[in-house]
């Protein structure tokens, strides 16, 4: 079964750090680009960051640039998001999402994890 499982969420104080992980299974992780997407409580979806299959291309939303770092370990079938200098507005459920593997479909997100909650509060 194709699956993504996030972990690492929790309660952190403003200015603190947290590292999220996403474990992939059921597909050849090393051949797919990946993303982080977040959703604040009661709000819509916001794309956070993208990493290509070989880590050669990395992009961030302006709202997290300079504070968050995306990375992956293809040997461990894992995706990461290092979050530093956290703010109240970073409070959200964080999802990892796989980019479709076909040129015809383009860079839509076809597989999503169940999400991990990050709460930034003093």
Q: Which residues bind other proteins (CB under 8 A)?
A: 35, 37, 44-47, 50, 59, 61, 95, 100, 104-110, 112-115
Sign for the CA dihedral angle at 69, 18, 24, 74 comes to: positive
Give least dist CB 108 to other proteins, A: 4
37 vs 33: CA distance, rounded Å:
13
In whole angstroms, how far apart are CA 4 and each of 23, 27, 53, 63, 89? 6, 10, 15, 25, 25
Give least dist CB 44 to other proteins, A: 5
Give least dist CB 15 to other proteins, A: 27
Judged by beta carbon, residue 27 or residue 109, the one nearer other proteins is 109
């Amino acid at each position: 079964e194709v699956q993504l499982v996030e972990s690492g969420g929790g309660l952190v104080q403003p200015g603190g750090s947290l590292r999220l992980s996403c474990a992939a299974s059921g597909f050849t992780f090393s051949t797919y680009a990946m993303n982080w997407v977040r959703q604040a409580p009661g709000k819509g979806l916001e794309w956070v960051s993208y990493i290509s299959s070989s880590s050669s291309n990395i992009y961030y939303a302006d709202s997290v640039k300079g504070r968050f770092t995306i990375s992956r370990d293809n040997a461990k079938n894992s995706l990461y998001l290092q979050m530093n200098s956290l703010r109240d507005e970073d409070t959200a459920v964080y999802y990892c999402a796989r980019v479709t593997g076909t040129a015809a479909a383009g860079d839509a997100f076809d597989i999503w994890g169940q999400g991990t909650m990050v709460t930034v509060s003093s």
